[in-house]
Amino acid sequence: MKRTTILRKAIMERRAVAVPGCHDALSARVIEKTGFEAIQISGYGVAGSLMGMPDVGLVQMKDVLDTAWNIAQSVSIPVMADLDTGGGNAVNAAWLAERVIAMGIAGMNIEDQVFPKRCGHMAGKEVIPAEEMAGKVRACAAVRDRLDPDFIINARTDVLAIGGLDEAIRRCNLYLANGADLAFIDGIRTREQIERAVKEVKGPLSVNLMDAVSGMKTELIPIPELARMGVGRVSIPVASIMVAQKALTDFFTALKASPTGTLPGQTQWLASFEEYTDFVGLKEYRAKEDEYLPKQHLESKYQGADKIVSGEGKE
């Protein structure tokens, strides 16, 4: 079954399918290995990973596409790409939709913020006219219908903080009427707001729990309860980059504070070299070398012993 078909089926069942955010190919593989059904590429995470900067519209679209390609090739489960405001007008957005469909991406997020956008849980957001966003959605839907009807278009509105829930619901329904498959009210706050949106939005609703720990602006409702409400998708977009930042900070703080400059025996900080190389597929790579490279070359390269797999020569 195509990845687009798998994702569409999961969302249309309205069982609150959990879609964590990743910030690179490694975090995507971790999410897949831990058993999640689908992944989204976190714009917040990509900004932090590539640039060490906040999600305020600084990442170039080429970098977004390059990251999406790497992630899509690294996992077998469906991947959704965060295309922010679509790179410009409706024509730009349609061009990006073509690119990500060609990559094997299963769905895309597009939002109605003014460029330069910012993370939905930051203050100072501005939105474009609803009709302009509807045109972007319609242009992307035309591409979807031509190339892969199962591709998911998630239309996000950031109007809640500015215009209230009534306007957010109105925009969701306008975007769905223009071809979106999924609607997302960013910054929705309470159980009551979610319940009302599920009832009044004329299509599946996506809810953002941000980090799955604090919920940030959105009330942290258990996913089984969101499923009972009929929510289509639950995104957890920022956890991967925030986990990475904290783990790196904790490790290097401990290392710097150590009188010896080392942490002997403190294996809780990191995977072993062998665990990591197994995870990223070094054994499979070596098996391909054995199958396809000349035997004489391999004997010379490894001097009769597989030193890389055995853990020697880590540098």
Please answer whether residues 309 and 283 qualify as being in contact, where contact means their C-beta atoms are separated by less than 8 angstroms. Answer: yes
**Lowest mean pLDDT across 9-13, 94-98, 303-307:** 303-307
Q: What is the pLDDT of residues 133-164, one digit of tens each?
A: 999 999 999 999 999 999 999 999 999 999 99
Supply the Cα-derived Rg of the chain in whole angstroms: 22
Structure tokens belonging to residue 75: 């996992």
| Model pLDDT, residue 56 | 87
Q: What is the pLDDT of residues 60-108, one digit of tens each?
A: 999 999 999 999 999 999 999 999 999 999 999 999 999 999 999 999 9
- For the chain, the distance separating the N- and C-terminal CA atoms, rounded to the nearest angstrom, is 41
| Model pLDDT, residue 306 | 53
Omega before 222 within 30 of 0, i.e. cis: no
- pTM (2 d.p.): 0.91
CA angle 74, 184, 177 (to 5 degrees): 110
Please answer whether residues 118 and 97 qualify as being in contact, where contact means their C-beta atoms are separated by less than 8 angstroms. Answer: no
Q: What is the pLDDT of residues 20-72, one digit of tens each?
A: 999 999 999 999 999 999 999 999 999 999 999 998 889 999 999 999 999 99
Decide: helix, strand or coil at residue 165: helix
Please answer whether residues 108 and 74 qualify as being in contact, where contact means their C-beta atoms are separated by less than 8 angstroms. Answer: no
Confidence label for 308 from pLDDT (cuts 50, 70 and 90) = very low
Please answer whether residues 40 and 240 qualify as being in contact, where contact means their C-beta atoms are separated by less than 8 angstroms. Answer: no
Please answer whether residues 207 and 234 qualify as being in contact, where contact means their C-beta atoms are separated by less than 8 angstroms. Answer: yes
Is residue 129 pLDDT above 60, yes or no?
yes
| Model pLDDT, residue 122 | 67
| Model pLDDT, residue 125 | 80
Measure the CA–CA gap between 65 and 83, rounded to whole angstroms. Answer: 9
Q: Tell me the DSSP string of 115-181.
A: SS---TTSS---B--HHHHHHHHHHHHHHHHHH-TT-EEEEEE--HHHHHHHHHHHHHHHHHHTT-S
* Structural domains of the chain ordered from first start: 3-244 (3.20.20.60), 271-315 (no CATH)
Is residue 305 pLDDT above 60, yes or no?
no
φ/ψ of residue 117, rounded to 5? -80, 180
φ/ψ of residue 41, rounded to 5? -85, 125
Q: What is the pLDDT of residues 221-249, one digit of tens each?
A: 999 999 999 999 999 999 999 999 999 99
Please answer whether residues 118 and 57 qualify as being in contact, where contact means their C-beta atoms are separated by less than 8 angstroms. Answer: yes
Measure the CA–CA gap between 11 and 152, rounded to whole angstroms. Answer: 9
Neighbours of 174 (CB within 10 A): 19
